[in-house]
Amino acid sequence: MDSISWYAWETDEVDSGWLLTYVDVLSVILAMLVVLLGQMAVQHLKTPEEESRMAASSEEIPVVLEPIEEQLSETQNKTDTESVKAPTAEARLVAAIENSFQDEVKVVQREQGITLEIADAILFNSGKAELLPEAQPVLSRLASTLMEIGDADIAVEGHTDDRPIKGGRYQSNWELAAARANAVTQFLLNHGLPAKHLRSISYADAHPVADNSHPDGRAENRRVNLRVEFL
């Protein structure tokens, strides 16, 4: 009777299927290593190209910014030029009066609009409301200047000193101031200023600008004002 082997290595039939599974696992691991090494090599090869691209981009940045800065500068210069070329109507009137009328017309800045002061010595004889011949060229130039600047509401104000009127055509300073304001208003109407933008006001001696106790102060108080407010 044959003896029975008690050990696996002594059997005649050996199961070697597990070797195939082990080889497959090794093959898969090797394949993964090859793929990883290939990816690392590709990334390593691309790095210099990317660096060169980044360097080129950084060099191009100033070229892109320069035109933008130039455009901003041109826009600012254009805005400054437009603001210089387009002064307000009041500023243009002030410049015109100061350049063309010298001491004939005085400019007074107000919170709203401006006031043009004309001494009565240029316009009227004492106690009279008829315009002097030498007043007409001044008022004519003033009317043309006002129309050139633009549409405006104009209040013609008559002012006197505080000395009472004794005799003559006018019974009070109110009447005299009103007559003088009306005379200037009528002149402006005749020289093209629209009636809807003109009005005549008498203040008599109610708004002095100087001391009435002195001749020079009284002379300053006798005046006709044009209060101008542009529309």
Of 36, 57, 86, which residue constitutes the final position of a domain?
86
Residue 194 in any domain: the answer is yes
pLDDT tens digit sequence for 143-174: 999 999 999 999 999 999 999 998 889 999 99
Is 60 exceeded by the pLDDT of residue 189? yes
Tell which of 86, 119, 152 closes a domain.
Answer: 86
Quote the domain boundaries for residue 154: 89-230
Domain-embedded: residue 101: yes
pLDDT at residue 9, as a whole number = 45
pLDDT in tens, 46-93: 555 555 665 555 555 554 545 655 666 666 666 665 555 678 999 999
Give the model's pLDDT for residue 134: 94
Which is more confident, 49 or 183? 183
Percent of the chain with pLDDT over 70: 71
Kindly report the pTM of this predicted structure.
0.64
Query: Which residue, 209, 92, 108, is CA-closest to 161?
Result: 209
Examine the fold and report which residue of 38, 55, 86 is the final residue of a domain before the chain moves on.
86
Looking at the fold, whether 27 and 66 belong to one and the same domain comes out as: yes
Overall domain count for the chain: 2
C-alpha–C-alpha distance, residues 205 and 176, integer Å = 11
Q: Is residue 170 part of a domain?
A: yes
